Structure 1
Amino acid sequence: MSPIKTAPAALRADDEQLRARYIDEVLGLLYPGDSPAATGGPSVEYLVIPNARKPRLLVPADDRRVAAAAVRRYAEPQGRLARLKRDAVVTALRTGLSGLLLRDRLRIRPGGDTIDAYLDRALGPGLRLSVHIGPARANRKPVLQLLDAEGHTRAFAKLGTSALTRTLVRAEANALAAVGAAGLRTVQVPDVMHAGQWGEHEVLVQSALPVWRPRAPLTAPRLAAAMLEVARCCGTSHGTLAGSGYWTRLRERLAAVAGHAEGAALSSAAERIVRATGNVNLSFGSWHGDWSPWNMAGVEGAVLVWDWERFTPGVPIGYDALHHALQVGIGRSPSAGQAVNDLVAAAPDLMLPFGVVHRQAVEVTALLYLVDLATRYVTDRQAEAGARLGVLGSWLLPVLVARVEAL
């Protein structure tokens, strides 16, 4: 299947270029009415980490302690070299050598109500913020790390600034309330500290999970147990696919994208799945919706899990395990298409801890997960946003269609 025709030329731009372009957009949102800070009046100044060509983080330029802490808590480095680079930046900030290593700065003069002022009103004064610069995605939104004067991370704030991201921010607030009230013992989730509106933007502030606690090995059984706890947190049900509320909701989502080339292919694949396996009994529960290695951490006594904006009850149990395995596979496989094939092949072992052992139940759960994920991509218009895997015809759809035709 060929890539969608609506994919923009920006898909050919590399990730660094797209992140660099995003800086102006996000600062314009956070500091409306800004103008060049040449003379007079207070201004806001950020260091661009590591530089303006490869931006990942904006940190306050006027406070070395806060800036160093923001970099240190920004993300868990993947590998020794990445850790060494992170530590070098932290040391430069702490010692005052950042002027030599970190030369790119952004200075703006706010001309209206700023996000800093809003957060002061909502949470009290004294918090400083750093700004995460994420990859191009339809659901990309400003994510702010909030630190106190001592450099301790107190919270994270998300801003919904488009129709899609406003919906996702509200959904995450509701999800955290539901999951937080479920009495989880293995999984620890953030607390909602504030939810409100700043102008036309949705704002969600959530507590920082204790990622600084001693790490504990996140073995496959421990990970599966955490996912199973989430699957059961809002209750479970059992029944056939064809008679389930899940199938009703999925058909509605597919109907909404039927006019899209990929949407039509997905709808056809889903209908074929139901015709072939609609009488298979499945167990339904909740899933986190984006359980990826970068959205969790294993510490002593708990599995920390964040980014709950895709949390959904009433889906076939096992979706989280499939999603996690696919994200890991995409990072390791020679191609994303190969990762999808590997996922389907590994599904029997992935589903075993969830009690999904019947061959047809395993197969239909894996294929439905791929349909569900692909429907999300099309609905969100990820390709048009420049997302790296947004063009489904280049990786997911060919594998899915081939697997469904073999039913």
Structure 2
Amino acid sequence: MKKPEVRLSNCMAGNPENGSHLFVGLPLRQPRLLIPMASSRTQSRSFGLYNPGSRHGKLSKFLGQVAARAGLMKAAGRLVAVPIETFNTTSAIRSILDRRMISSLQDRCQRAIGKRPFSVALSLGEPGRYQKVTAIMFDKSSTPLAFAKIGFSPQAGSLIANESVALTRLRFKGFREGAFPTLLGCGSAGSVVWLLQSPLLSGVPSPATLQDAHFDFLAELAGNTFQVMRPELWTIWSHLRYLADSPTLPVKAQFRSETAFIMHLRDEFLASSREGGQMPWPFAAAHGDFAPWNVRVAGNRLLAFDWEYYLSLAPAGWDALHFIFRVENLIKRKSLESIWAAFEAGAYRNSVARFERRSGVGIPDERFLGLLVILTIVLDLVPACICGEVRLEGIARS
């Protein structure tokens, strides 16, 4: 495949003075995180691109940072560091993974903030149609200057464009209880879509339970974007109803072992959708992928990033339930069926009530909202709707 014209400069590519074109790939066998041959402090801070939710992932990140700070990674890099073009990756990003991309990011950062990055760390992302490259750029003193995203597929481009819309809209809302990145620039060149934003690396990783800072942020987001409408007029509702009525369900691979239970939830949704869809509901903007790995806490303020799944409208309380369900499933490793049983038994009622008190917004039917959130997760509907695709291939109805 011919590489697109991206108007990339080569002024920093292959600079022998700093070795910025050489990277240590982690893990060694199938690298996903590319650490530059730079100072130990820069290498340690490069792990800011890795935001695991599991205990194992957090331990791996901690050990990597310790090794970097101790200078062990820099020492090992003299033996294993290689040029960026050497890494074997998926076809979705292979055509942009070269020194020209590094130089292009440095150029754009310099134009946006007046400083040229000295080194760049990269994450190659999750393989799949939404895969994209993310990067943190540092100056000579290891201070993070900017965070970048680069997508090559149409789907990745749609998500990056959606995040640009989110950051632009949020900028004018005047948040006091939270913070989000500042959009520094965005654009496209050929089939490549890119976005540049300020880094959010202060504070500490979010705990796996909703705290006051989370509720204050979600309440302010709801208050700034509140409106009332019928769910049946909502785009994601329409797609969910369409899929629920179709012969197959495009369930994500990780949930297919619970096919029978998902079909049960589908049937419950269909049984209550007529009445629920016509009921006036409070709607507000939502992060869309609100979870511990997309949030940091700095004092009493919440720092929310990765707004690719931003929803300009979602039923109030969406983000709170999404956070709970993702933690229970991905961090605590609970099945969907056990999560739903706990939900129906009232295990998460206090969290929903706290959101209602903080926001002043009542949720008309908590159970119906739970159905919407969990089905949207297992069908991966938020990115599919953002990218304008509704996939009907999947699991046939029983």
TM-score scaled to structure 1, two decimals?
A: 0.71
Contact 2:147 2:196 in 1 (8 A): yes
Aligned pair partner of 1:205 in 176, 196, 200: 196
Deviates more, 1:369-378 or 1:147-156: 369-378
Alpha-carbon spacing, 1:43–1:366, altered in 2? closer, same or farther (3 Å): closer
Q: Partner of 2:227 in structure 1? A: 237
Aligned pair partner of 2:23 in 40, 46, 66: 46
Quick one: distance in 1 between partners of 2:375 and 2:312? 17
Q: Partner of 1:320 in structure 2? A: 319
Deviation at 1:240, TM superposition (A): 4.6
Q: What's the secondary structure of 1:315's corresponding residue?
A: strand
Q: What's the secondary structure of 2:28's corresponding residue?
A: coil
Q: Partner of 1:130 in structure 2? A: 121
Q: What's the secondary structure of 1:202's corresponding residue?
A: strand
Aligned pair partner of 2:48 in 73, 77, 83: 73
Q: Partner of 2:255 in structure 1? A: none
Alpha-carbon spacing, 1:216–1:283, altered in 2? closer, same or farther (3 Å): closer
Alpha-carbon spacing, 1:139–1:378, altered in 2? closer, same or farther (3 Å): same
Q: Partner of 2:217 in structure 1? A: 226
Quick one: distance in 2 between partners of 1:256 and 1:332? 29
1:354 and 2:355 are equivalent in the alignment: yes
Quick one: distance in 1 between partners of 2:242 and 2:6? 36
Deviation at 1:140, TM superposition (A): 2.3
Q: Partner of 2:39 in structure 1? A: 64
User: Identity, % of aligned pairs?
Assistant: 20
Q: Partner of 1:366 in structure 2? A: 370
Aligned pair partner of 1:194 in 185, 195, 217: 185
Q: Partner of 1:262 in structure 2? A: 249
The code of the aligned residue for 1:291 comes to F
Quick one: distance in 2 between partners of 1:332 and 1:45? 37
Q: Partner of 1:14 in structure 2? A: none
The code of the aligned residue for 1:351 comes to V
The residue correspondences of 1:158-177 to structure 2 (distance < 5 A) are 158-177=149-168
Alpha-carbon spacing, 1:230–1:127, altered in 2? closer, same or farther (3 Å): farther
The code of the aligned residue for 1:90 comes to A
1:184-219 deviation digits (Å, cap 9, x = unpaired): 11110000011111332111011011x334789886
Q: Any stretches of 5+ residues in structure 2 without a counterpart?
A: 9-15, 87-95, 111-115, 252-262, 386-392
Quick one: distance in 2 between partners of 1:249 and 1:105? 44
RMSD: 4.2
Alpha-carbon spacing, 1:328–1:188, altered in 2? closer, same or farther (3 Å): same
Contact 2:288 2:382 in 1 (8 A): no
Q: Partner of 1:86 in structure 2? A: 64
Quick one: distance in 1 between partners of 2:155 and 2:191? 13
Q: What's the secondary structure of 1:52's corresponding residue?
A: coil
Q: Any stretches of 5+ residues in structure 1 without a counterpart?
A: 1-24, 33-39, 382-390, 399-407
1:117 and 2:132 are equivalent in the alignment: no
TM-score scaled to structure 2, two decimals?
A: 0.72
Deviates more, 1:252-261 or 1:124-133: 252-261
Q: What's the secondary structure of 2:285's corresponding residue?
A: strand
Contact 2:213 2:301 in 1 (8 A): no
Alpha-carbon spacing, 1:269–1:278, altered in 2? closer, same or farther (3 Å): same
